[in-house]
A and B are shown apart, each in its own frame.
Chain A
Amino acid sequence: MQMSGAQMVCEALIKEGVTTVFGYPGGAIMNVYDEIYKQNGFEHILNRHEQASVHAADGYARSTGKVGVAMVTSGPGFTNAVTGLATAYMDSIPMVVISGQVPLSLIGTDGFQEIDAVGISRPCTKHNYLVKSVEELPRIIKEAFYIAKSGRPGPVLVDIPKDITAEMGEFDYPKEIHIPTYKPNYKGNDRQIKKAAQAIKKAKKPIFYIGGGAVLSNASEEVRALTKLTQIPAVETLMARGVMGAGNPLLLGMLGMHGNYASNMAMSETDLVISLGARFDDRVTGKLSEFAKYADVIHIDIDPANIGKLVDVDYPIVGDVKRVVEKLLQVLKDVNPDNYRAWREILGRYDELHPQSYQDSDEVLKPQWVIERIGELLGEKVIITSDVGQHQMWAAQHFPFERPRQWINSGGLGTMGFGFPAALGTKRGNPDKIVVNITGDGSILMNVQELVTASEHKIPVINVILNNHFLGMVRQWQTFFYDKRYSETDLSYQPDFKALAEACGGIGYNVTTKEEFDAALEDAIEKDKVCFMNVAINRLENVLPMVPSGGALYNMLLEHKDQ
């Protein structure tokens, strides 16, 4: 069928099953927006900043498992999208971003709103394309979706010059993919899997180290079955919260810089690390030479480049976590869970010694209480998104995540400003869930314009701003390591958050007590509008435990005199 390149873009998106596109128009992408105006195969959400469009598509992808789609114009439209691409890239999120580009004839001439999009995005995309002719456009979009969601997922950029979206061509959307150079391996080598199973049976102190890959491969059920079968305890990374389920007796908690005592001690004393889709990030390992010092390592990862990158691996298994764990379930049928009883008891005692806890107060709201309270009141009905900083760590530590994809946050890149737009995408993808963005008074201002987006498109997300009038995490480091020189972290000068929300068509609440919080949350759910809940919390609350940067996991700060 003959159609313009712009029509092809819309048709291809519809054929890929896309129902929501987040974006912002501009000169070079106008032809496509003209076609968006004429079609009704998908809705378009007009964010108020391109960065927010990409984060929204990202939140949509993380919460649904589908490919998120964002659309931006050339030049500044694209450069604004870069933070969003990098955020998705670091956390392996399937996403297709379509950007306009100046006409082919102008490329390389420093044209108006021209920037080398494929050049800039090369290190922060899984792959990218500059479309050079209308004939290749359908194939490229097809490949972009396939590459984004297959293997180790990631964002793919398709940069389309303006003259190509205007040009007519034959639209024959390919049914099959043919990329001879790209063949991800999902299966996992059977012999390696058997060897790993032997190692598990021989180990005395094994530990499952569960990462974001377990979420991406939808392996939660299998992972829970494997832990149940073997009775081997598990720790989760920040990206894996929810895989095991909060009440799971085999879950020790989160490990790493702000991990709990039992998890970090387990990692320090284990004799066999069984890594399921985790990548030994420095925020997890602490001092690498002390990390799991006495252990052999089984590393299951779909990306071979992750294996052996940071720690030496004894049993490398390249494959999809879900498929490999399915096979492990088969070969471990005769495992004796009693082998690990003594180990479980040791870890149980560690947990009793220093449980994940905090000191509640009657005088001032504690952020941990607020987070636990959201869990108590909303439970499985809620999806939590978060920004980056103290509130993110408190949420990861204290919220009772019951299932994967219930926890949406920027782990790898640590992008402040991610939470609110990601919440919009999450809500669009999960209209039946309540979406709460747990944020801070620093982060929320980094994409605060999305209040307007949320009001216009009637996307009722609840922003719980844990307000300590500080750039809290940096302030915490200044307290611990910089002799309390609070350089540029005092955020006492801030907007009236309630009024700000109301000015943009939302609702605002000022909360200073537990009663007010409960009432505000109830009201916000009933009103079903975007809202800011400005929650005054203890100013100098710290995130604990904490492993000082570069220190060994077993050297945790468990309490601090300032608290």
Chain B
Amino acid sequence: MQKVRRVISVIVMNESSVLARVTSLFAGRGYNIDSLTVAPIPESDLSHITIVTFGSPKVIEQIIKQLHKLIPTLKVIEHDEMVEKEMVLIKFPIGENLSNIQALCNAYNGGIVNVGVDMVIAMASDEPVRIGHFVEAAQRYSPCEIVRSGVVAIER
């Protein structure tokens, strides 16, 4: 069966080992995690977990049901129409062409965020696909380190 990419938001009680329950569910049942982000929801006792996963439609359906079955899970949101964003930090040697790097970052809602003795750190935040493009484009400036944040998403 055709594998599809899905972004799933899980609203859970912000309690100890809840993230372990989610990730061990994926591990134990052989589901994929492409990216995972988690943070508390402001002014509540809940956390928001965003998971990007791949699988056949049957598997995706099972993932959603199994996530829902976890006792601390309040809500599972899976939607075609999600606004997705991701962030990336890239470290470049200071000898590279900084104005080109700056221009590149500007095209992806970013900029140079830190300048050190040997390195500059650039940031971009955009849709996950575009972050992929940004990382590709950055290759020509000899990046030494790339850190992606994973996807966060919200229903439209």
A interface list, Cβ under 8 A from B: 118-119, 122-123, 126-127, 130, 132, 147, 179-182, 303-305, 308-309
> A452–B15 Cα gap in the complex (Å)?
43
Contact A305 B69 (CB under 8 A): yes
Find chain B residues with CB under 8 A from A127 CB.
Answer: 71
Contact B20 A122 (CB under 8 A): yes
B132 to chain A, nearest CB (A): 33
> A123–B71 Cα gap in the complex (Å)?
13
* 23 pairs from A and B in contact (CB 8 Å cutoff): A119-B17, A119-B20, A122-B17, A122-B24, A123-B24, A123-B28, A132-B16, A180-B74, A181-B12, A181-B13, A181-B71, A181-B72, A181-B74, A182-B71, A303-B69, A304-B65, A304-B68, A304-B69, A305-B65, A305-B68, A305-B69, A308-B58, A309-B62
> A9–B54 Cα gap in the complex (Å)?
44
Find chain B residues with CB under 8 A from A118 CB.
Answer: 17
Contact B16 A130 (CB under 8 A): yes
A288 to chain B, nearest CB (A): 12
Main secondary structure of the interface of B (DSSP, over half): helix
CB contacts between A and B, total, < 8 Å = 36
A384 to chain B, nearest CB (A): 32
Q: Is B148 an interface position by the 8 A CB rule?
A: no
Contact B66 A305 (CB under 8 A): yes
Contact B73 A181 (CB under 8 A): yes
Task: Give the size range of B's interface with the partner.
Answer: 10 to 19
A86 to chain B, nearest CB (A): 12
B117 to chain A, nearest CB (A): 39
The one of A130, A304, A308, A309 that contacts B17, using a Cβ cutoff of 8 Å? A130
> A328–B13 Cα gap in the complex (Å)?
37
Find chain A residues with CB under 8 A from B66 CB.
Answer: 305
Q: Is B96 an interface position by the 8 A CB rule?
A: no
> A182–B70 Cα gap in the complex (Å)?
8
Q: Is B155 an interface position by the 8 A CB rule?
A: no
Find chain A residues with CB under 8 A from B16 CB.
Answer: 130, 132
Q: What residue of chain B has the Cβ atom nearest to residue A310's Cβ?
A: B58
B104 to chain A, nearest CB (A): 44
Q: Is B21 an interface position by the 8 A CB rule?
A: yes
> A118–B17 Cα gap in the complex (Å)?
9
Known: A122-B21, A130-B17, A304-B65. 8 other contacts (CB 8 A): A122-B20, A122-B24, A123-B28, A126-B71, A127-B71, A304-B68, A305-B66, A309-B62
> A130–B21 Cα gap in the complex (Å)?
13
The one of A179, A303, A304 that contacts B71, using a Cβ cutoff of 8 Å? A179
Find chain B residues with CB under 8 A from A182 CB.
Answer: 71
Find chain A residues with CB under 8 A from B73 CB.
Answer: 181
Q: Is B61 an interface position by the 8 A CB rule?
A: yes
Contact B24 A305 (CB under 8 A): no
B56 to chain A, nearest CB (A): 12
